Amino acid sequence: MNKQELEKIKQKALEKHIPIIMDDTLEVIERYLKEEKPERILEIGTAVGYSAICFTEFLSENGSIDTIERDVERVKEAKENIKKAEVEDKINIFEGDAVEILPTINKKYDAVFIDAAKGKYPFFLKEALRMIKPNGIIFADNILYKGYVLSDYNKHKQRTAVRNLREYIKEVSENPNLDTEILEVGDGLAISRIM
- Least Å distance, CB 53 to ligand SAH, is 8
Which does residue 47 bind out of Mg ion, ligand SAH, none, counting CB within 5 to 8 angstroms by kind? ligand SAH
The alpha helices in 56-158, defined as continuous H runs, are 72-84, 98-101, 121-131
**Of residues 115, 182, 192, the one with CA closest to residue 149:** 182
Nearer to ligand SAH, 11 or 173 (CB): 11
Which does residue 169 bind out of ligand SAH, Mg ion, none, counting CB within 5 to 8 angstroms by kind? none
Residue 118 in contact with residue 124, Cβ under 8 Å? no
Nearer to Mg ion, 115 or 127 (CB): 115
| Torsion from C-alpha of 10, 122, 109, 99, nearest 10 degrees | -80
Nearer to ligand SAH, 4 or 177 (CB): 4
Alpha carbon distance 180, 175 (integer Å): 9
Output DSSP code: residue 22. P
- Least Å distance, CB 69 to ligand SAH, is 5
- Least Å distance, CB 16 to ligand SAH, is 11
Bridge-based pairing of strands 132-141 and 64-69 is unpaired
| Of 43, 69, 77, 141, the one binding Mg ion by CB under 5 A | 141
Fill in the per-residue mask, 93 to 122: x = in contact with Mg ion (CB under 5 A), - = not in contact.
----------------------x-------
Nearer to ligand SAH, 26 or 178 (CB): 26
> Residue 43, interface with Mg ion (CB under 5 A)?
no
**Of residues 112, 100, 21, the one with CA closest to residue 10:** 21
Q: Which of helix, strand or coil describes residue 145? A: helix
CA angle 122, 123, 129 (to 5 degrees): 90
| Of 46, 56, 81, 142, the one binding Mg ion by CB under 5 A | 142
Per CB under 6 A, residues contacting ligand SAH are 19-21, 45, 47, 50-51, 68-71, 74, 97-99, 115-117, 120
| Binding residues vs Mg ion (CB under 5 A) | 115, 141-142
